[in-house]
Amino acid sequence: MLMLTRTETKPPGHRTLREDDYGCGCVAEFSRLRYFHGQPLSALDLRREQAYHLDKARLRNRLLHGWGIVCGLDLRVAVKQDCRPEENDPTATEVIVVPGSAIDCAGNEIVVRHPRPVYVSDLLKSDDLERLHKKPGTVYLTLCYAEVLADPSRPLLAHGCEPPPSCEYARTIETYQICVSTVRPDGGPHCEPCCGACGDPCLELAAIHNFDPAAPVTQAQIDLSGRRRLALHPFAQVTEINWVHGGTYPPADADGLLDDGIEVWFSRPIRTDTLQQGVVDLTWVALGRGVAGSVFTIEGEFKDLPQTEYTDHFVYRRTTGERLNEADRVIITVRGDFILDECCRAVDGNHVGGGVPVSGSAAYKPQSAPKRSCAARPSGDGVEGGDFVSWIYVAKGSEK
């Protein structure tokens, strides 16, 4: 650590460095047993030996691998059997957590080995449940690491001068707990998690929107976009757009979308000053009669960018007066390598499978769109940067 001596001159505004300025206060100091012949060992010594290896493994998980969902842990709505219609209680909505694995921000490994049914209403606090009965809202399912003591037994010997306890537990079972709340869990430090605060020890599994305790949950209400995948640094992702990727729009609607502006939302704040000309490209591919195969650049500009340092979305609109023709194609490219988040990391923009969800506020609806066999998901492949590429088509004359 840098130290100042009495003879050094301190510049104006200088403050003395503290140990925690460059230290790693969240990392415990490690000490291990050094065995020797004739050494007396107690239960406490053996527990500390276990703790040493556990803490080492947790530190390695957190600093080398990060935290988040490793695999699985999707949510499915259970199909309820109506064998007894008179007993079919819609308030007992059953959601199934699929087996999988995760690492929380403390480095604990969480394993769900079997499908786990969850009755959402039963896990809510009474006051939250009462509010949701009056006005449906969003609830969050979280996965938390837990330990349970097992195998009770009677000790044979006392420890020290105290009488032996009547019961001790011989094993600790590493397990998990599913929790439900109306408050979204804190994702923890955003930039450098190495020695930062842990945040909420529970991992978000899913958000259930418009949850009504008196009605069954549908698969469409389950939103997995807020889940953190295993990573040291969660990159910003594209979470919503206001057009349907690959959709075919009537000519007037396609022109209206470009004139009003394409809108892109992000999972975390991005730096407004990185939204510069050249970051977004609109490419017009003429596929109609006469000029088929011609490629043009559509000039545009960002619309009403905020004056704040950060923003969670942008609107980019066409500034020229040309009109699209039937059967044309418009390619939308957002260069994620040049859009930086609050930690100066590039947006993970790869539009994998074309699956980024469409905003519910999208003003224009396509006449047709390709079918998706996979669930909607944010952009990204877990690597910093990457272009977000999408496109739309203009309907042919027979489709108007």
pLDDT tens for each residue of 173-215: 999 999 999 999 887 766 776 665 677 889 999 999 999 988 8
Residue 255 belongs to a domain: yes
Residues 286 and 359 in one domain: yes
| Cβ partners under 8 Å of residue 282, min gap 6 | 258, 262, 297, 298, 300, 316, 318, 330, 331, 332, 333
- Residue 120 tokens read as 């959402």
Q: Are residues 303 and 210 in the same domain?
A: no
> 276: helix, coil or strand?
coil
pLDDT of 163 reads: 75
Rounded mean pLDDT of 229-251?
92
Q: Give residue 385's Cα distance to chain centre.
A: 17
Residue 16 has pLDDT above 50, yes or no: no
- pLDDT the model gives residue 196: 55
Q: What is the pLDDT of residues 64-96, one digit of tens each?
A: 888 899 999 999 888 666 655 555 555 456 899
- Beta strand pairing call for 310-318 and 262-271: antiparallel
The pLDDT confidence band at residue 20, using thresholds 50, 70 and 90, is very low
Q: Is residue 205 located within the same domain as residue 257?
A: no
Residues 369 and 294 in one domain: yes
Q: What is the DSSP string of 53-103?
A: HHHHHHHHIIIII-BEEEEE--EEEPPPP-SSGGG--TTS-EEEEPPEEEE
Q: Are 139 and 244 part of one and the same domain?
A: no
**pLDDT above 50 (res 23):** no
Domain that holds residue 137: 45-78+90-153+167-223
Please provide the average confidence, as pLDDT, over all residues in the chain. 85
Based on the domain organization, do 200 and 256 belong to the same domain?
no
Question: Which residues make beta-bridge pairs with 332?
Answer: 282, 390
The answer to whether residue 34 sits within a structural domain is: no
**Which residue blocks in the chain are alpha helix, DSSP H?**
19-22, 43-60, 126-134, 251-260
Does residue 8 lie in a domain region?
no
Verify that 74 and 211 share a domain, yes or no. Answer: yes
Strands 248-249 and 387-394: parallel
The pTM score is: 0.73
325 found inside a domain: yes
Please indicate, yes or no, whether residues 320 and 365 belong to a single structural domain of this protein.
yes
Domain-located, residue 125: yes
Please state the domain count of the chain: 2
**192, part of any domain:** yes
Percent composition of the chain: helix, strand, coil (DSSP 3-state, to 5): 15, 30, 50
Confidence band for 28, pLDDT divided at 50, 70 and 90: low
User: Does 276 reside within a domain?
Assistant: yes
Same domain? For 270 and 219 the reply is no
Note whether 142 and 57 are same-domain residues.
yes
**142 pLDDT more than 80:** yes
Q: How confident is the model at residue 1 (pLDDT cuts 50, 70, 90)?
A: very low
Report if residue 395 sits inside a domain.
Answer: yes
Q: Are 138 and 209 in contact (CB under 8 A)?
A: yes
Q: Mark whether 201 and 270 lie in a shared domain.
A: no
201 and 74 part of one domain: yes
Is the distance from CB of 62 to CB of 108 less than 8 angstroms? no
Looking at residue 338, what is its pLDDT?
Answer: 97
